[in-house]
Amino acid sequence: MWAVLPILAESARPRTKHARWARDRPVEETAGGNVAIVTEAAPPTASDVLARAVGGLGWLTLNRPRALNALDLGMIDAIAAALDAWEHDTDIDIVLLDGAGDRGFCAGGDVRGLYEHIKAGDPEETGVFFRAEYALNARIEEYPKPIVVFADGITMGGGIGLAGHAAIRIVTERSKLAMPETRIGFTPDVGGTWLLGRAPGRIGEYLALTGASIDAADALYAGLADHFVPSANLDGLRDALATRADPSSPTELIARSLSLSKGDETPEPPSLAAQRDWIDDAFAADTVAEIVERLRARPEAAASAAADVLGELSPTGLAVTLEAVRRARDLRGLRAALEQEYGLVMWFATTQPDLVEGIRAQLVDKDRAPRWQPATIAELARGTSTQLSTAASAFAYRPATALWG
């Protein structure tokens, strides 16, 4: 039986000014192919989040395929409302979250909304969205029933925040995962530093700093996913989750459903594993400048390419991101990481010109020629204390409104 929760009918719910994030704009990818940016207006759908109960399965679908299912505040509220409704519903045993269309699960949030708030002189307004988003990220990790996410296609930024903290994370041959925030002079959030800080070796620093996208095999290797299922078998897995005979535990439930759907097939070998030598060597350095120096000294073409990428990005964003991933390794849990990220995000939004400049260059003027302040890694690195003082300033910042109550 199919049941649609009336609380999730977007067309029946009044919108606030905060819901401008990712509102009905299709997505284009930047020249780098990693930052999914929402641009022009697109027709609204009847409901941006579909919720239905199928047997013992609570099924949520992000329903904005023209915008690669990018999130706005209304969608975040709708997902949270469904989780609230199903938590104590004895007919629901497991929750599935997927995305409409075959191009992406979720491209993240709309940085254009962030840009508009900052330019309007109201950067604190951005905190409304971030607080709701981070609360949902923590809710997903802590939810008492298993949450399964199909990270099929593009899964970036806020999409990682939805998928990365779920109990069961499914990737396919179409999956393309990234935390690309440094490409707009920003820093990874939504618990991304918590996830990347637990990747093997220095993979976390590499992915966080460069914003590189990875496929299913690399996502499994980096710890951002749990199982590989060919996209052609997702319908079978969904049906198995909805119609299975009740096993004794959630683990058995998932294992049986994967078996019925022919999941956990073997993807291609992870390319990151083969690159660990130069990644671990270079990204273990203390500063961004030293990382670049080590990359330039390596014989691998991929190392040189990574150095080129870093040379194009915001030195401030890189310095803060490097420290954030490393500090996240010592934090007690996801909530602590989200609190750290929230402070950094609000520091960027309220004090740093590079964030607005990065969005301008990628989205507004689209000249792909940001004018960072400072302009180069070398300028930031003079005496090393400059990088240390930049990071110290970022981590000392305290937002006007706390994240957790």
Tell me the catalytic residues: 109, 158, 181, 189
3-class DSSP assignment, residue 60: strand
Rounded Cα distance between 196 and 216, Å, is: 15
From the list 212, 206, 333, 359, the residue with the least C-alpha distance to 281 is 206
Q: Helices (H), strands (E): how many in the chain?
A: 18, 12
SS3 content of the chain, % helix, strand, coil (to 5): 50, 10, 35
CA dihedral (237, 177, 112, 355) positive or negative: positive
Contact (Cβ atoms closer than 8 angstroms) between residue 317 and residue 187 = yes
Contact (Cβ atoms closer than 8 angstroms) between residue 175 and residue 190 = no
Full DSSP string of 164-192: TTSSEEEE-TT-EEE--GGGGT----TTH
Task: Tell me how crowded residue 365 is: count the other CB atoms within 10 A of its CB.
Answer: 11
Rounded Cα distance between 210 and 203, Å, is: 11
Report the residue count for the chain: 405
Full DSSP string of 104-162: EEE--B-HHHHHHHHHTT-GGGHHHHHHHHHHHHHHHHH-SS-EEEEE-SEEETHHHHH
